[in-house]
Amino acid sequence: MSSMPPQDELPVERKLVAILAADVEGYSRMMHEDEASTLATLSANRKICDDLIGQYNGRISGSAGDSFVAEFSSVTDAVHCAVAIQQGVHQANKARPAFKRMLFRIGVNFGDVMVKEGDLYGDDVNVAARLEGIAEAGGICVTRAVRDQLRDRVEFEFEDLGERQVKNIERPVRIFRVLFDLNGAIAQETAQVPNGSQGRALDPLEVSIEVTFWNSVKDSNDTAMFEAYLNKYPDGEFKALAELMLLRLRSGEGKR
């Protein structure tokens, strides 16, 4: 009868990947002020992030509290995903009360990593995490390796922030801020058109935004999430479902 090898003997794989690291700006403060509301908003935002990571062929390799790390085989996919996440969260925040708005900071690096049981290790993972801390709320910072890969292949521009010395990394890191339209439409090539929309003149990108928003709130137990959807999309494709969920939650039936 075979047995699992000891933890330190599990195989380690090396590969070249793009690493996206993200966390929530001011998360500890938000939790201190209102734990339940902050967790509900985080859950809704993580739904947006997780869906987009999947659509851009990424894989979440680690998650803790308000932060997560994802890997991509394509640098282009990683940066497009980072931009789509910021745009998606920005759109969702527009429909939320000010006290429930949440902003992510994102760092993207490209390099050689070690993979053990699905988790990523190595200096290049740590660099991505340090970039996340340097990025402004709602913003994205990348390394020179990422910028050089994408310089002539994406519609975004890059602002050179110079070399920085970051914690636990011996060499200075050249950092660039990604310049993009936060109010731009989310590019979701695999988004599905909602039922009942056939025959209507709909903008596919606007449909994608609504689908992403609905997916982020549909499993919530917070009435404010469904009210936010109805405020944003008073004639939306999911109006009837949102109104039904509100009715159930207000009566206590929908709480789990």
Percent of the residues in the chain that have a pLDDT greater than 70, as a whole number? 84
Q: What is the CA radius of gyration of the chain?
A: 20
Mean of all residue pLDDT scores within the chain:
81
What pLDDT is recorded for position 208? Answer: 57
Give the number of other Cβ atoms within 10 Å of residue 121's Cβ. Answer: 14
Beta-carbon contacts of 16 under 8 Å, excluding residues fewer than 6 positions away, are 110, 111, 112, 113
User: Is 190 in contact with 81 (CB distance < 8 Å)?
Assistant: no
Cα distance between residue 63 and residue 207, in whole Å: 29
Cα distance between residue 26 and residue 121, in whole Å: 26
Give 105's strand partners: 23
Model pLDDT for residues 13-71, shown as the tens digit of each residue? 888 899 999 999 999 999 988 888 888 889 889 999 999 999 999 999 888 888 999 99
More confident residue, 205 or 147: 147
What pLDDT is recorded for position 206? Answer: 56
Cα distance between residue 126 and residue 200, in whole Å: 48
Domains annotated on the chain, with CATH: 12-179 (3.30.70.1230), 185-256 (no CATH)
What pLDDT is recorded for position 237? Answer: 78
What pLDDT is recorded for position 10? Answer: 64
Helical spans, DSSP H, in 98-203: 123-134, 144-150
Half-sphere exposure in the Cβ direction for 179 (13 Å, CA): 6
Strands 67-72 and 104-116: unpaired
